[in-house]
Amino acid sequence: MTPHLPRLRRYARALTGERSAADDLVQDTLERALSRFHLWRQGSDLRAWLFTIMHNIYVNQTRSRIRHPQEPLDESDANELRSREPDWGELRDIDEALARLPGDQRSVVLLVGVEQFTYEEAAQVLDIPIGTVMSRLSRGRERLRLLLNGDSRTATLKVVK
Amino acid sequence: MSESQITEADLHAYVDGALPAGRTAEVEAYLAGYPEEAARVAAYREQIATLRRKFDPVLDEPLPRGLQVPRRFTMRLLWRCAAVLAWITLGSVVGWHTHGYKITNARSEGTDWARRAAVAHVVYSPEVRHPVEVGAGEEAHLVRWLSKRLGTSLKVPHLGTLGYSLVGGRLLPGERGPVAQFMYQDGKGQRLTLYVRVNADERSETAFLFAQEQGVGVFYWLDRKLGYALSGAVDKPELLRIATAIHGQLNP
């Protein structure tokens, strides 16, 4: 299990955007994994199993207490929030851009892009159909692109360094 | 395939290097004609690189003390690993599909089906009067019937040179559909069963894998379209010898 810790930490850091929250999440994941290790089947992918546990804990935590109001859990919340977002042109930092992605899109973008899971593996970790992985990936990447570049409406406001 | 059929999913699979070579060329041809799309694809790639630059350093950070897996857990894990290795927990057959994560259900197919094979062996091999549904006397019918039910052409290996003759076979429910079980027996009544299932992925191919519990050994392997699991209460080298012979007969 230890060899998987650095990658769990990387994913947790990117997912939560905070060092302490990320390490808490990794800790919770480890504890749950250890208590349920008998459920892991030898020969199956331990890394995917650990990420699944982490994902479930994260989703439960964000559901039970909305720690980051800018982290909507689904697209409808995102649409609602989009209208009262601050100036997108100011968003140059990937951290901020990530934090403004709906949580479900952020998970897919990170699992596929950073953690290099295949689409099938990401679908298993998140327990969603592969078509949903593709649509969230598409929406997430596009949104991130607009956030990072400043979209057409705000491009002129982009600060040139 | 024409360029107009390039989908959004293709573009992402292209970004992720997940396209087959032929499709990659088609996507590249498409992108050459649509600079805006090409720019978008480039932006996605840069986005991934930015994320990696930002978060990869976490991999090299020393682990906080609180995050180390406690030593006693490490020892417990070793014990548990040992227990998991002995995975044919025959006593808890009923519970298998009732617990666990979806992910493990999906990913652990590799061992689950072999375990099913072992259970089928334990259930049917002691049968005196009804060990099989169709006996070796009707071998041609048996093969036709099981081939039809599994939806693929099956072959029955012959193990006479190894001292085992075919008893017959039966149809069993598998995880995704019908599976076949062939039973063999030697002169002393020692029985082996060969469990044959249709793989979900035709490209699957594995080496021989072995598992053992309570005296029943299983060698199992995937061979493109079909998965085979040979079970028997014989020692490992003997079982391997038979598995090798079966594999050889099925891949002349």
Cα–Cα distance between A143 and A86 in angstroms, integer?
15
CB A50 within 8 A of CB B107: no
The domain limits of chain B are 3-59, 78-250
Q: Is residue A161 part of a domain?
A: no
pLDDT tops 50 at residue A161: no
Nearest to B12 among A34, A43, A137 (CB): A137
Q: Is residue A89 part of a domain?
A: yes
Contacts of B152 (CB under 8 A, 6+ apart): B198, B225, B226
Give bridge partners of residue B213 from the DSSP assignment: B216
Nearest to B55 among A5, A13, A134 (CB): A13
- Per-residue pLDDT, averaged over B29-40, amounts to 94
Q: Is residue A158 part of a domain?
A: no
Interface predicted TM-score of the whole assembly (ipTM), two decimals: 0.77
Q: B90-143, pLDDT tens digit by residue?
A: 434 434 443 433 333 333 456 778 888 888 888 888 877 788 989 999 999 999
Range of the domain at A6: 2-152
pLDDT tops 50 at residue B60: yes
Q: Is residue A112 part of a domain?
A: yes
CATH code, A92:
1.20.140.160
Nearest to B18 among A7, A119, A144 (CB): A119
> Is A26 in CB contact (< 8 Å) with chain B?
yes
Cα–Cα distance between A15 and B190 in angstroms, integer?
57
pTM over 0.90: no
Q: Report the domain count for chain A.
A: 1
> Is A25 in CB contact (< 8 Å) with chain B?
no
Q: B133-152, pLDDT tens digit by residue?
A: 899 999 999 999 999 999 99
Q: Is residue A159 part of a domain?
A: no
Q: A84-141, pLDDT tens digit by residue?
A: 444 444 445 788 889 889 999 999 999 999 999 999 999 999 999 999 999 999 999 9
Q: Is residue A15 part of a domain?
A: yes
CA distances from A83 to A79, A87, A106, B229 (A): 7, 11, 19, 58
Mind telling me how many Å the CA of A68 is from chain B's nearest CA? Answer: 20
Does domain B78-250 bear CATH number 3.20.10.10?
Answer: no
